[in-house]
């Protein structure tokens, strides 16, 4: 997605404040001031919700509701009140201190989607801070300016503001904070708004009125572009519009290679509202439904009935195509109050998370398993276990499932006794032992996002080392092929649900390696289908077989060039 337009700087106060204290005789007044700011922020958000057009996607209202719930959560306001009462902090300083503690907890989470939820804390605290500082009027006036065709440049843009700016004609967004898994980024993709996030110091270097080019596909922002560059991107924008129309023509056509090999193209779901997009783009199933959002912005985990009702709504919306539900993939950080603290030396990427946490805390795990088993009586459902590292973990889950099946049978609650159970292969140890995993599971799913970063010992969201994140590294390709071969030998389906699966640059390579199931963001489905329908897989497989022994000695460019020349 590409946009060209003048920059509109949306000024916004920084969350950072100077230390401040109040005399003992003013503590009560300061607490009242804090309460008033929370009340005003809630009212402002409710007013904002009323301004959102009826045509806005349902997920926007849910994001707003999540922020309203945070503003009403005593877990946010009570510790701030206590800091004012005991430490005599000013309301701003107390709120800043509590915000910093919350953000630290989120940033210690390994899962990038959950880590990005720290932005919700900042959005909510920022609103309260604006009322404490009496800055809200200036922000509201900025939102009411003439922004038709403009590129909005801001420190951060909450989801509610993003939707209002879009309906007032904003062409694109550029923010200093955020990433591709933030709420605002999810909304921007669903509304086809080009957005580039994490552009450090954008509000300092970009000037009001200067013409910007925003390429959401490559994450590029160009300022002060000359006429030839502008002409190029305007042509590209027109081309992309035509491409979207052209790709729609593939909807009714089968995902089948030129030599007649069928390929299953599945969708990943981040939120329940993505169901519509998955169906609109021709997904034949859901290969990965992430359930972590159910646990966010709340003090208690969801119970069995909440799990069941949400899953049932999704299953009904899918119209008969299969749903693969991944169980909780969270870390212990602040999720379970009884969990032992990690300590400052703990690396959350290697700590108590995902299946490890679920087996450690079965009372957290059981409600989700019961809900999924109950759902299995209503349609095609599969259960997917994240971050497996040993077959002992699989056996422990199977033992728990046996107990739950017995309970449901005694209670007269229907379920599918043959519910398929699969495992995420995202740890190198699991990939190396893939044959043992395939022997015990019904299907495998390769999570390339984590598999790559664990194999290469890099954090893909760390700017300092993210350039090392390489899906074409020989070690990564060998691990991928090892998993695919394990599934083939034992007759078990193998899918890929990481970002690599939805990148059409790698489709030929993955087909040649033997992959036959791809699960991706819904917006990528038709592009990948186009590649599938254009190639013959048998020549790709032969070329991979020829080059495979030499992966360590040939460059990624050479490998891809060989494959791209085949038809």
pLDDT tens digits along 401-454: 999 999 999 999 999 999 999 999 999 999 999 999 999 999 999 999 889 989
Confidence (pLDDT) at 332: 47
Query: Both tokens of residue 370?
Result: 């019961």
Sign of the dihedral through C-alpha 376, 381, 387, 389? positive
Is the pLDDT score of 486 beyond 60?
Answer: yes
Contact 502, 528 (CB under 8 A): yes
The pLDDT of residue 223 = 92
- Judged against a pLDDT cut of 50, whether residue 22 lies above it is answered with yes
Least confident of 109-118, 315-324, 326-335: 109-118
Higher pLDDT, 337 or 335: 335
d(C-alpha 41, C-alpha 442), whole Å? 50
Task: Give the architecture (CATH level 2) of 261-564.
Answer: Alpha-Beta Barrel (3.20)
Which fold, 2-14+23-243?
Enzyme I; Chain A, domain 2 (1.10.274)
Taking the C-alpha atoms of residue 440 and residue 117, their distance in angstroms, rounded to an integer, is 35
Q: Where is pLDDT greater, at 46 or 501?
A: 501
Region 463-491: mean pLDDT is 91
Which of the residues are catalytic?
183, 497
Mean pLDDT across 272-286: 90
Question: Quick one: 465 exposed, middle or buried, by C-beta within 10 A (0-12, 13-18, 19+)?
Answer: middle
Alpha carbons 223 and 213: distance in angstroms, whole number: 7
Strand order in the sheet with 211-215: 195-196, 172-175, 151-154, 2-10, 211-215, 220-223
- Pull the structure tokens for residue 466: 């993210």
**Can you give the three-state secondary structure of 89-104, one letter per residue?**
ECHHHHHHHHHHHHHH
pLDDT value for 363: 92
Determine contact, residues 325/384, Cβ cutoff 8 Å.
yes
Three-state DSSP state, 325: strand
Query: 């390489």: which residue's tokens?
Result: 470
Q: What per-residue confidence (pLDDT) applies to 117?
A: 63
The DSSP line for 434-491 is HHHHHHHSSEEEE-HHHHHHHHHT--TT-TTTGGG--TT-HHHHHHHHHHHHHHHHHT
Higher-pLDDT residue of 540 and 140 is 540
Q: Where are the domains of the chain?
A: 2-14+23-243, 261-564
Higher-pLDDT residue of 403 and 60 is 403
pLDDT in tens, 253-266: 999 999 999 999 99
Q: pLDDT tens for residues 411-421?
A: 999 999 999 99
Could you give the 3-state DSSP secondary structure of residue 8?
strand
Render pLDDT for 180-215 as a digit per residue (tens, 0 to 9): 656 677 678 767 789 998 888 898 899 888 999 999
Query: Which of 49-53, 224-228, 300-304, 363-367 is predicted least confidently?
Result: 49-53
Return the higher-pLDDT residue of 482 and 558: 482
Using DSSP's 3-state secondary structure scheme, residue 244 falls into helix
Give the per-residue pLDDT at 468. 84
pLDDT tens digit sequence for 507-523 = 999 999 999 999 998 98
pLDDT at 109: 65
The pTM is what? 0.71
pLDDT, residue 334, reads 39
φ and ψ of 347, to 5 deg: -100, 110
**In the beta sheet, which residues pair with residue 3?**
214
273 token code pair = 């509202």
Task: From residue 220, give the alpha-carbon distance in Å to each of 3, 298, 485.
Answer: 11, 36, 38
Q: What is the CA radius of gyration of the chain?
A: 25
9 forms bridges with which residues in the sheet?
153
Mention every residue, 6+ apart, whose C-beta is less than 8 A from residue 24. Answer: 88
Sign, CA dihedral 125-126-127-130, equals positive
The pLDDT value recorded for residue 333 is 44
Distance CA 471, CA 260 (A): 28
- The secondary structure of residue 24, as a DSSP letter, is G
Average model confidence (pLDDT) for the chain?
86
In the block, tokens 């300022």 appear at 223
The CA distance from 205 to 532, in Å, is 43
pLDDT value, residue 56: 57
Q: Phi, psi at residue 148, to the nearest 5°?
A: -60, 125
């Amino acid at each position: 997605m590409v946009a060209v337009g003048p920059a509109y700087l949306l000024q916004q106060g920084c969350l950072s404040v100077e230390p401040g204290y109040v005399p003992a005789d003013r503590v009560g007044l300061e607490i009242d001031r804090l309460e008033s700011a929370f009340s005003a922020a809630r009212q402002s958000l409710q007013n904002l919700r009323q301004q959102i057009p009826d045509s806005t996607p349902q997920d926007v209202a849910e994001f707003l509701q999540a922020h309203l719930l945070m503003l009403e959560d005593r877990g946010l306001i009570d510790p701030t009140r206590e800091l004012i009462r005991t430490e005599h902090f000013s309301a701003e300083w107390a709120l800043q201190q509590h915000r910093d503690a919350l953000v630290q907890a989120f940033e210690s989470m390994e899962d990038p989607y959950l880590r990005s939820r720290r932005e919700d804390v900042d959005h909510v605290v920022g609103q309260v801070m604006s009322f404490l500082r009496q800055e809200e009027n200036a922000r509201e006036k900025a939102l009411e300016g003439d922004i038709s065709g403009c590129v909005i440049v801001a420190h951060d843009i909450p989801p509610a503001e993003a939707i209002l700016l879009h309906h007032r004609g904003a062409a694109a967004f550029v923010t200093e904070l955020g990433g591709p898994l933030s709420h605002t980024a999810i909304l921007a993709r669903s509304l086809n708004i080009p957005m580039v996030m994490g552009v450090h110091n954008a509000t300092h270097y970009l000037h009001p009125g200067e013409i910007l080019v925003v390429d959401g596909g490559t994450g590029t922002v160009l300022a002060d572009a000359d006429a030839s560059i502008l002409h190029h991107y305007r042509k590209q924008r027109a081309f992309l519009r035509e491409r979207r129309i052209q790709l729609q023509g593939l909807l009714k056509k089968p995902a089948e290679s030129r030599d007649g090999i069928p390929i299953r193209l599945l969708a990943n779901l981040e939120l329940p509202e993505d169901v519509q997009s998955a169906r609109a783009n021709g997904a034949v199933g859901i290969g990965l439904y992430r359930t972590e959002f159910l646990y966010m912005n709340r003090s208690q985990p969801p119970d069995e009935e909440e799990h069941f009702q949400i899953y049932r709504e999704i299953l009904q919306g899918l119209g008969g195509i299969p749903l693969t539900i991944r169980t909780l993939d969270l870390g212990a950080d602040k999720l379970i109050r009884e969990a032992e603290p990690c300590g400052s030396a703990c690396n959350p990427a290697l700590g108590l998370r995902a299946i490890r946490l679920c087996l450690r805390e079965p009372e957290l795990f059981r409600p989700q398993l019961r809900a999924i088993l109950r759902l299995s009586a209503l349609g095609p459902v599969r259960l997917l276990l994240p971050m497996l590292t040993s077959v002992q973990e699989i056996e422990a889950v199977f033992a728990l499932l046996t107990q739950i099946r017995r309970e449901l049978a005694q209670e007269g609650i229907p379920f599918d006794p043959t519910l398929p159970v699969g495992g995420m292969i995202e740890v190198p140890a699991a990939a190396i032992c893939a044959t043992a995993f395939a022997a015990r599971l019904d299907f495998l799913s390769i999570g390339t996002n984590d598999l790559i970063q664990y194999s290469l010992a890099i954090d893909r969201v760390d700017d300092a080392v993210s350039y090392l994140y390489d899906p074409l590294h020989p070690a990564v390709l060998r691990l991928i092929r090892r998993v695919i071969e394990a599934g083939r030998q034992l007759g078990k389906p193998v899918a890929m649900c990481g970002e690599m699966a939805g990148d059409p640059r790698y489709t030929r390579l993955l087909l040649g390696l033997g992959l036959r199931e791809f699960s991706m963001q819904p917006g990528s489905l038709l592009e990948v289908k186009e590649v599938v329908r254009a190639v013959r897989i048998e020549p790709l497989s032969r070329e991979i077989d020829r080059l495979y022994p030499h992966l360590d000695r040939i460059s990624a460019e050479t490998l891809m060039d060989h494959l791209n020349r085949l038809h």
